[in-house]
Amino acid sequence: MTEDKQIYLSAEMTSRLAAIDIGSNSVRLLVAEALRGGNYRILDEEREPTRLGRTASSTGQLDDDSMARTIAALRSFRQIAAGYQVTSLRTIATCAVREARNGPDFCRRVREEVGLEVEVITSEREARLAFSSVQHAFDLTGKNVIVADIGGGSTEVVFATGGLIEAIFSTPLGAVRLTEQLGIGETVQPELFQRLEEEVASCLKKRTSRPLFAPHFLVGSGGTFTTVAELMMAAKRESDLPVAGYSVSHAEVRHLLDQLRKLPLRARRAMPGMTPDRADIIIAGLTIIDALLKRFRVNTLLIHTRGVRDGLMREMIEEVLGASLTPVDHSAQREAAIERLASACSGELEHGRKVAALAGRIYEQLTEPFGMAPGDRELLECAARLQDVGYVINYDQHHKHSYHLIRNSRLPGVRPHDLELIANVARYHRGAHPKRKHESLTRLTPEDQVRVHRMAAILRLAGGLDRSRSQQVSDVLVHVKDDTVEMGVVSELEPQVDIWGAERRTDLFEKVFQSKVKVRWAQETDSPADATAIDPHAPKKPRGKPKKLRESGTHPDQG
């Protein structure tokens, strides 16, 4: 090997990794070489159709034969990984193991007999891994998309806009599960097929909502989708085209389903492009695809050949690269991520920055009188800057969409729990007050709910103080006396619209803090505050006692 070649290899290759996905229909292995930049080169792939979930839906348990076949496959996969001298091997299990009563026993057997630790992932995490894989395969910029991952025991659905997750749904619609539950065998009688269609449509209606955006296309992940592509390509004699990214119309899906359901199992198995071990479950799988396209009113299906294991591999590579890199400044990364998210979704960058600055100043001055947690100021300011990202989906309900987009985003250095708090505060910057029945609040402890109430109350007031979108308010001076909170709005010109905007948003604040709010105008010369509290680049002013606040005139729109 030449010296140049050795230098190239040492610069590009970092680790050899292996990911195993234990599904309801098959077990898959991916062995790869991690490359700098987050990509990887596939060294080996294996798949064994062990049908681990074939009895899980009917009996609630994994059967002995399926477990034995799966354990044998895992033992072989571990040997293959060892042969490649992988530095990290992770094994995940999805629906079948997740739902089966003897799932923990199966994981124990795998640990004792094979030496692998099995991580049983939630349906939401399964959906996120699948979506992460799709993100790396397709350019989702400016696109409204639906991602569906069909497995043997479940189907996960993701709504996304501009590469950001808006909603995740999990359904018990799996190709193996439906085949077993409805007793689909050698032939599919019309009555049985009608029952299958009704079952799938009813489940989707109960378990999912329709997107508020018009989807550009649906991306399908999983063996059912790749089989559809291979069948279509064989029928059209397009074997020279790649399966990845192959496009199929809804009409073509429906035509293929009508064709296959009339064929006996032997004829389906012999069809060009058919994976033999999938022939018995393809009717159920195709019915799910047809129902998804119909439910979400999508005409174009794009095939994704990767999925959960690819998402897991990319997660592993991030961990490997992260561990090998010099510690980074998370605050700078977080700042850049907030700016990107706000810019891509809301178009309200300046408004968000101003509201964040005003909210932070109000919070700072309320900390001592009301015993606020100082650390929550940063969460409040983040929520203020991202409060309007839901505009990208729908204006009227944008606060609700902001919650989902923030909650499903990734901000460097922000813990998932803090991200949940930020999303909740943004959710309540307008609209209904926080209520116990709201699903977003039920995820939080009573103590965290109080924190959300307080931050949201402040955020509403701060938002009102830039009602004009002019950013003319330079500071807020807060004075607490008895049961009254007086806010002096500092501005060179009288900000009538902004004062009116704040006064219309006092109800939640008065309820949460049990104090009456009075909003008045104070000229800029009255502000004792350090100007850097609002603008970090502004020159510092000496502190002094605030002069008496000037009362504003009554806005013509005020009652």
Does any domain span residue 169?
yes
DSSP state for residue 262 in the 8-state scheme: T
| 39-58 pLDDT per residue, tens | 899 999 999 999 999 888 88
Q: Are residues 457 and 425 in the same domain?
A: yes
Up-side HSE of residue 49: CA atoms within 13 Å toward CB? 11
- For residues 145 and 318, the model is more confident at 145
The domain boundary residue, chosen from 70, 90, 121? 121
Whether 80 and 96 share a structural domain:
yes
- Residue 108 sits in a domain whose CATH number is 3.30.420.40
Question: Is 557 a domain residue?
Answer: no
Inter-residue long-range contacts of 334-340, CB under 8 Å, 24+ positions, other chains counted: 334/411, 334/412, 334/413, 334/414, 337/409, 337/410, 337/411, 337/412, 338/382, 338/385, 338/386, 338/411
- pLDDT > 90? residue 520: yes
Is 227 in the same domain as 375?
no
Q: What token pair was written down for 32?
A: 């790869």
Residues 203 and 234 in one domain: yes
Specify the pLDDT at position 533: 41
Q: What is the pTM of this model?
A: 0.76
Lowest mean pLDDT of 91-105, 296-310, 399-413, 485-499, name the range. 399-413
Task: Report which secondary-structure segment, H or E, holds 3.
Answer: helix 3-12
> Of the residues 258, 273, 308, which one is the last residue of a structural domain?
308
| pLDDT (tens digit per residue) in 470-512 | 999 999 999 999 899 999 999 999 999 999 999 999 999 999 9
Residue 546 within any structural domain of the chain: no
Q: Can you give the pLDDT at residue 412?
A: 76
Query: Quick check: is 431 in a domain?
Result: yes
Domain count, the chain: 3
pLDDT digits 0-9 by tens, 523-545: 755 555 443 344 443 433 333 33
Predicted confidence at residue 329, as pLDDT, reads 57
What tokens appear for 283 in the block? 């009717």
Comparing 178 with 213, the larger pLDDT belongs to 178
Mean pLDDT on 539-553: 36
Give 389's strand partners.
none
Q: 345 in a domain, yes or no?
A: yes
- Listed residues 121, 146, 167: the one ending a domain: 121
- Examine the domain organization and report whether 431 and 488 are in the same domain: yes
Residue 392 lies in a domain: yes
Task: With cut-offs at 50, 70 and 90, classify the pLDDT of residue 321.
Answer: confident
Q: Which domain holds residue 165?
A: 124-308
pLDDT confidence of residue 156: 97
Nearest alpha carbon to residue 87 among 39, 12, 14, 15: 15
Q: Are 220 and 302 in contact (CB under 8 A)?
A: yes
Instruction: Supply the pLDDT for residue 280.
Output: 95
Mean pLDDT check: name the lowest of 162-176, 448-462, 524-538.
524-538
- Label residue 22 by pLDDT band (50, 70, 90): very high
Rg (CA), the chain: 28
User: Within a domain: residue 472?
Assistant: yes
CATH number at 227 reads 3.30.420.150
Query: What number of other Cβ atoms are within 10 A of residue 63's Cβ?
Result: 18
- Please indicate, yes or no, whether residues 254 and 143 belong to a single structural domain of this protein: yes
Regarding whether 268 and 355 lie in a shared domain, the answer is: no
Above 60 in pLDDT, residue 13? Answer: no
Q: Do 42 and 190 reside in the same domain of the chain?
A: no
Q: What is the CATH number of the domain that holds 476?
A: 1.10.3210.10
Cα–Cα dist 270/232, whole Å: 14
Q: Looking at the structure, do residues 291 and 384 belong to the same domain, yes or no?
A: no
What's the chain's average pLDDT? 87
Q: Are residues 253 and 270 in the same domain?
A: yes
Any domain includes 497:
yes
Contact assessment for residue 516 and residue 503, using Cβ atoms and an 8 Å cutoff: no
Asked if 522 and 393 sit in the same domain, the reply is yes
Statement to judge: residues 146 and 172 lie in one domain: yes
